[in-house]
Amino acid sequence: MRISIVQPDTLWEDKTGNFRELEKLIKSLDNTDIVILPEMFNTGFSIDPVRLSEPPKSITFDWLISISEKGNLAVCGSYIVKGKEKFFNRWVFVTPEKKSWHYDKRHLFRISGEQKVFSPGTKRVFIKYRGLRIAPNVCYDLRFPVWSRNRNEYDLLINSANWPWARRDVWVTLLKARSIENQCFTAGSNRTGVDGAGIKYCGDSMIINPRGEIIASAGRKKNCTISTDISLEELSAFRKKFPVLKDADKFIITA
């Protein structure tokens, strides 16, 4: 299984411009199975959902489907969606077969006021694609390990983020921790540049193996991609050799 991350310098609240730039980067990829985009990849991290939101299956969803079909790959990332009288920071995963799943960001970033205008998700989501089991997170979710605790439910944890430069070390540390404690691959997709609110982003998109080792990294490069192959056979062998998940504590997550 080959997975790829796109790390853009996202244009502020410019959907058309971001679609154009992201498509260029995705076209540069060869023979990948999954393309991972950052949080709010079509607008940047804006908390203006009244103006920027769209119905669940509208312009951005259609664009994702188009990219997926053209490249014969799955593509995922989050954007602002309007539900029934509510707004969500919604992560969407689509396939070339036009199948789709979505996950609503559970932990809303209080420091930015995100919780004042968005509604939190209530469900953990697991996706199976080409034999790979996937669990999605969005940005701030990364700080809450109980929510992403693996009970043999997934092989790859994806976090689509807009993670600021000021907390770069936290980003790297938490991505590694989630891989180690859940014995999974972890892919963190982040943006670079400065947004319309003046927040600077660190990039550092990366893919980490179950041992907590970085196996692909974009560093702080703007408008770039990274790709790597991950092996489910190697993951299975590692889990059998070092069966940490069998000793994990049991618990129930409530919404």
Separation of CA 32 from chain center:
16
Look at residue 250 in the predicted model and tell me its pLDDT.
85
Look at residue 255 in the predicted model and tell me its pLDDT.
66
Look at residue 238 in the predicted model and tell me its pLDDT.
97
Respond yes or no: is residue 139 known to be catalytic: yes
Look at residue 254 in the predicted model and tell me its pLDDT.
77
One of 76, 105, 184, 202 is an active-site residue; which one?
Answer: 105
Respond yes or no: is residue 39 known to be catalytic: yes
Look at residue 148 in the predicted model and tell me its pLDDT.
95
Q: Which domain holds residue 83?
A: 2-247
Contact by Cβ (8 Å): 242, 15: no
Exposure string (b/e) for 75-106, b if CB count within 10 Å is 16 or more?
bbbbbbbbeeeebbbbbbbbbeeeebbbbbbb
Look at residue 223 in the predicted model and tell me its pLDDT.
95
Residue 253 lies in a domain: no
One of 76, 114, 139, 202 is an active-site residue; which one?
Answer: 139
Residue 252 lies in a domain: no
Count of structural domains within the chain: 1
Q: How many CA atoms lie within 13 A of 109 on its CB side?
A: 15
pLDDT means over runs of 10, the chain (255 residues): 98 98 96 98 97 97 98 98 95 97 98 96 97 98 96 97 97 98 98 97 98 97 97 97 90 78
Residue 86 lies in a domain: yes
Residue 30 lies in a domain: yes
Q: What is the CATH number of the domain that holds 29?
A: 3.60.110.10
